[in-house]
Amino acid sequence: MKIAVIAAQGDVEEHVVAANKALKKLGIEGKAFATIDKEEVAKSDAIILPGGESTTISKLIHKSSVAEEIKKAAREGKPVMGTCAGSILLAKHGDEEVRKTKTKLLELMDIWVKRNAFGRQRESFQIKLDIKGIGDFEAVFIRAPAILKVSSNVDILAKLDDYIVACQQDNILALSFHPELTDDTRIHEYFIKMAK
C-alpha cells in the first residue's frame, strides 16, 4: 500500500511517521511518503492532506496540478484524509474568511467549515475526544477550523461543544485537529483500514 502525504506545507513528516507506524502495527506491507508530484499521487492507494495554512496549501496543490489528482482519487474511492487546514480544503462550503482569502476548495465533502474557529496559535490546546469507531483520543488543536454543519450523507465522528471536529463521507475523512502530533496511531490505522 502506498500512502501519499501531500508535501505542500504543515506536519508532513509527522504524518509520514504516523502512517508508517500504523502500517507496521496493522501488519500491512506498504509505505507512506511525502510528495507534491502529481504522478506519485496518482499511483498512491490513499492520500493525506496535512494541516498548515489553507490558502497557501490550496495555491500550491493547484499550481502543481496535485489538486486534480486528489479529486480524481477521491472520485475513484481511494481514501483521502484532511487534517486541520486539510479539512478546510476538502469542504464544499467555507465561511466568510475562506471566501475573503479566495481559498480554492476541493469541494469533495458536503460540509461547511469555519477557519480558526478555536482561536489563533496562542489558543492551541489538547483535549480528550470520544471518536466514533476509535474511542477516547487525545486531540491536538492548533489554529483549528471547525465543521459547522454536514449534509445527511456525512457521518459525524466527533464533536467538541457545538462544533463537529471529525466526520466521514464515504472514503473521505475530515479532522479539525492534528492526530499526527500524538503517539496514538489509531486514527491513521482507521484511515488505512478504509483502503482495504
Summarize pLDDT for 58-110 with one digit per residue, the tens: 999 999 999 999 999 999 999 999 999 999 999 999 999 899 999 999 999 99
Q: Report the CATH number that the domain containing residue 103 is assigned in CATH.
A: 3.40.50.880
Range of the domain at 8: 2-194
Q: Which residues are catalytically annotated? A: 84, 178, 180
What residues contact 82, with CB distance under 8 A and at least 6 apart? 48, 49, 88, 89, 90, 172, 173, 174, 175
75-84, 121-130, 167-176, range with the lowest pLDDT: 121-130
The answer to whether 175 and 187 are in contact (CB under 8 A) is yes
pLDDT level of residue 50 (50, 70, 90 thresholds): very high
What is the model's pLDDT at position 17? 98
43 has pLDDT over 90: yes
Structural domains of the chain, count: 1
